[in-house]
Structure 1
Amino acid sequence: MLSARYDLFISHASEDKEEFVRPLATSLMQLGVKTWYDEHSLTIGDSLSASIDKGLQESNYGLIVLSPSFLSKPWPEYEFRSLITLETGDRKRILPVWYHVNRKEIMRFSPHLADRYAFDATGKDPLLAALEALRVAKPEAYAELYRRHAAEKLSVPLGKLAPNPMLGPPMTQPQLRRIRFIREALMEVFPQGWNETVTSFRRDLPQYRDGEIEVWECVAGTYLRVSRKFTLDRKRRRALFRLLIDDTIGTPIPDDPGQPAWVRAAAAEFRSELPDE
């Protein structure tokens, strides 16, 4: 990941600010994405490539809201070609969002953008576009969403993802076996159906799936060992689960002498390294 002042900037036509872009930017900031967008409200006479180039100097990614207002502006042809030159190698930095436009209209505007993967935000909650941008711009943070949902610490309800989840390729059989263990181990404190559980992992980018499954395996394994060792009641098992999840999202399990023995054991177990074979 590049080091930049912002995670993401939004380039858009000024006409789309009130209806779509401001709610989108608000959702991004609620999700913890450092977003710059006020400086990239484009009006007639502005240079598209200069604006995007300037934004990419300050940000890791640029999100372009392609709308009828955006496409109707008299961009010269060289502006279209400049979008290609702003990305180097295989690293994707420009994230197109379609807003009340279709592929045919995008093709007339720029064949290059028409062939790129884009999120179609037409008729959808801006939060969904924000989540897709988060998935690309901050994949580690996106992977944490499911854990925050489990700990009931989401500022944005994860349930809004349910109608149209953005899914990657299917899980492998080894991954599905690991997920089955996680689900069975945590069923009493985090009950979910099989399809819902698998879908939560399929939302992650493929290269981050194994790492996220490993985090949940650590939670499940520690939960089983500590809850059985101390024969915890349902209330304490639920508290144990919350402590473990909190640890994965930046709040370490307390291990000071004043804590109950099962809490201190959970802290030690969760941070311990398994011995080599």
Structure 2
Amino acid sequence: MGDRLRDKVVFVTGAGSIGPGWGNGKAAAVAFAREGAKVFALDLKPEALEETAEIIRSEGGTVETAVCDVAKPDQVEAAVASAMEKFGRIDVLHNNVGIIDPGGPEDLTEAQWDRLMAINVKSIYLTCRHILPIMTRQGGGSIINISSIASTHSLGYSCISYSASKGAVNAFTRDIALNYGPKGIRCNSILPGLMNTPLIHMGNVTDVYGSTEEMVRQRDALVPLGHMGDAWDVAWASVFLASDEAKFITGIELVVDGGITLKVK
């Protein structure tokens, strides 16, 4: 166990993995706990949430949980209230929830568009709406929003709703950083590149490539370092931005991509 986040309370959305293995939120929640943080973990799926919590507890960490749809205002408000009841403060907000629907405007239904925007963007608005006043009263805090290189670069196929949502996350991050900086609140985004996490093994992503094996082969070949990243690459970047090591860093888009944006235009 480390102590980079000792005694800090971290509120993590999407803390359960969407499938077998380590998703970004699951790895981040565990990494925060390993650095001494008290974690309040949220996820829509109780089983996935409990799996993350059990790992933290088994390692001697402190965690409380809430099953929550972060696109629903009443559920977010209740989760924040529960975190305050359990821990009395929130020092770090880690917004990790996100989904992807490949396709362009003609491929996506209006319902798909609205659902993705609610999960990827509205959720961040809702958590910030309820947690920013808490951080303001405390005199500071750190907010980390998980974006994507899809917000600035092509992934090689159309995923217009995902790209647009992550562009919105970047703009949201900059606005919070500028306007809440005087209150001691930092806000940064992380832009993962091609990451080998359970999310990309879902059918709607692998269908683009024809098979999981071909998807992994093609995506690995695109990265200058020779392979995709994993959830821990994003998790440790998140720990850094949450810690006092990053106390003079705000409003940035931290790219974690193995160099792929150096060659993808």
Give yes or no for TM over 0.5.
Answer: no
Q: TM-score, normalised by structure 2?
A: 0.38
The structure whose residues are more often strand, as a share, is 2
The structure whose residues are more often helix, as a share, is 1
Higher relative contact order (CA 8 A, sep 6+): 2
